[in-house]
């Protein structure tokens, strides 16, 4: 009996270690390493998203360093986790649409992959627009909650950069699609979000309640 309990204990420790390696401890989002494992294991959600054309959206938190500097790293983690949770939720909670989010190179960089449905620029723009609208409303509500959590700052905002390559995944296997996707993030989506952040002083919000600044590399 003792040997059996010991074996269960070791298995539990191994599972926790694997979890730490594949899931970001702050945002609770899957890491790139975990994403690769999910593809190799044919995760149904990720397989469904990658079965057709996708929009790739890189997201960066505006002035996140100021949150850490002004309120401390513990509050910064709360800020990061709460917003990341909403990004993850709205990546897939959009009617019949689906998608997934994963942590980028740094803790405050997130990549969202959105199933587009139709292989057209119009479908791509519509999908990203719906995602932004949902995220904007969520950020607005979170901005009202943060003061009660000791984070007194203006409404949170995000910089987004998106890209759409309709012919990218044609005839590619699932692992190949993931590699192409990660390459697209590094070479184009990250550039789009960098362009968005670098233009922050001249960016204009589409409405007063717009809390996401956006750069479309396809325009």
pLDDT tens-digit profile, the chain (219 residues)? 555 434 434 334 434 433 445 888 888 898 888 888 888 788 888 888 888 888 999 898 888 888 889 999 999 999 999 999 999 988 876 556 789 999 887 667 899 999 988 888 898 888 988 888 888 888 888 888 888 888 887 678 888 888 888 777 777 888 888 888 888 888 888 787 777 776 655 554 444 345 666 667 664
| pLDDT value of residue 74 | 93
Please, where are the H alpha helices in the chain?
Answer: 2-22, 32-40, 44-49, 64-71, 73-92, 121-145, 174-184, 190-198
Q: Which phi and psi angles does 183 have, rounded to 5°?
A: -65, -40
| CATH of 2-216 given 3.20.20.70, 3.30.70.270, 3.60.15.10, 3.10.129.10 | 3.30.70.270
pTM given for the model = 0.81
Contact 101, 111 (CB under 8 A): yes
CA distances to 106, 109, 152, 174 from 78, rounded to whole Å, are: 16, 15, 13, 34
Q: Retrieve residue 39's tokens.
A: 């593809």
| pLDDT value of residue 209 | 44
Pairing of strands 54-61, 158-164: antiparallel
Domain range summary for the chain, segments of one domain joined by +: 2-216
Q: Is 160 helix (H, G, I), strand (E, B) or coil?
A: strand
């Amino acid at each position: 009996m003792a040997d059996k309990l010991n074996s269960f204990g070791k298995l539990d420790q191994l599972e926790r270690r694997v979890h730490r390696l594949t899931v970001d401890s702050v945002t609770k989002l899957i890491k790139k390493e975990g994403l690769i494992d999910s593809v190799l294991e044919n995760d149904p959600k990720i397989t469904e998203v990658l079965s057709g054309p996708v929009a790739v959206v890189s997201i960066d938190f505006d002035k996140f360093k100021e949150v850490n500097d002004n309120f401390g790293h513990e509050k910064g983690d709360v800020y990061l986790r709460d917003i990341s949770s909403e990004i993850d939720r709205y990546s897939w909670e959009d009617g019949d649409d689906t998608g997934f989010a994963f942590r980028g190179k740094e803790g405050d960089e997130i990549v969202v992959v959105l199933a587009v449905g139709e292989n057209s620029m119009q479908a791509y723009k519509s999908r990203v627009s719906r995602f932004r609208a949902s995220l904007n409303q969520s950020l607005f509500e979170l901005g009202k909650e943060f003061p009660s959590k000791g984070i007194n700052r203006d409404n949170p905002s995000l910089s987004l950069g998106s890209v759409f390559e309709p012919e990218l995944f044609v005839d590619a296997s699932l692992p190949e699609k993931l590699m192409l996707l990660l390459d697209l993030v590094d070479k184009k989506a990250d550039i789009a979000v960098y362009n968005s952040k670098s233009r922050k002083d001249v960016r204009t919000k589409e409405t007063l309640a717009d809390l996401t600044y956006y750069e479309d590399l396809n325009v």
